[in-house]
Amino acid sequence: MEGFDEILKFQKDLETMSLLDEMIIMGGAIKEPGNIDRLSEYNFYSDPHSADYVLQQKVKKILIPLDVTHKAIFTPEMRNSIQDSRTGKLVKAVVKKYQDFYMNVSKFPGNPLHDPLAMAYAINPSFVKLTPMNLNVEIEGKYTRGTCVPELRSKAIDKTKPNAYVAMEVDSKRFLKYFLKTISS
């Protein structure tokens, strides 16, 4: 079976894991197409068992899905504006290949900032607007492995409890400005 790292952390030390105030998770796609296949985001696809298990735990979960990371696009112009400091050179080199992939394969005007947006939420939650949702992750589907399955039916929402807070909107201009400022300092 696939890796069960997160499941094992919870099962081995449930008491410590229950002390967490919240978990910030970069993963999944709610209404956005997947980045590994039609519906699945890479992190959830890689280990759907752990993704679903973690979503079912009692700790508060903040999900940063492709729906918002695909709105925070780091363009070549932004990349070129980074100063040539040691950090700036590293970021430019790493981002260039990533950007080329997104621009050539996915036809984006740059590259999404998946993990940086999740980290930015930890620093300043006001970059995103959260929506409570009930989520599961498909663990066995032949065509849907790793798909984040939200309960979006209005009548069913009244009967299901949200198990995560999902970032569905992002102040991308403010976040990108913060990201550039942080890299440049």
CA distance 123 to 75: 23
Q: How confident is the model at residue 1 (pLDDT cuts 50, 70, 90)?
A: very low
> Where are the strands (E) in the chain, listed by range?
22-26, 60-64, 73-74, 111-112, 128-133, 135-137, 148-150, 164-170
* Contacts of 134 by beta carbon, 8 Å cutoff, 6+ apart: 150, 151, 157, 160, 161, 162, 163, 164
Q: Which domain holds residue 84?
A: 73-112
137: domain CATH number? 3.90.245.10
Domain check: are 90 and 165 in the same one?
no
Task: Report the pLDDT averaged over residues 40-64.
Answer: 94
Count the domains in the chain: 2
Domain check: are 59 and 22 in the same one?
yes
User: Can you give the pTM of this predicted structure?
Assistant: 0.90
Do the domain assignments include residue 163? yes
Task: Report the pLDDT averaged over residues 45-59.
Answer: 92
Task: Report the pLDDT averaged over residues 149-155.
Answer: 86
Domain check: are 65 and 147 in the same one?
yes
Two tokens, residue 33: 């197409």
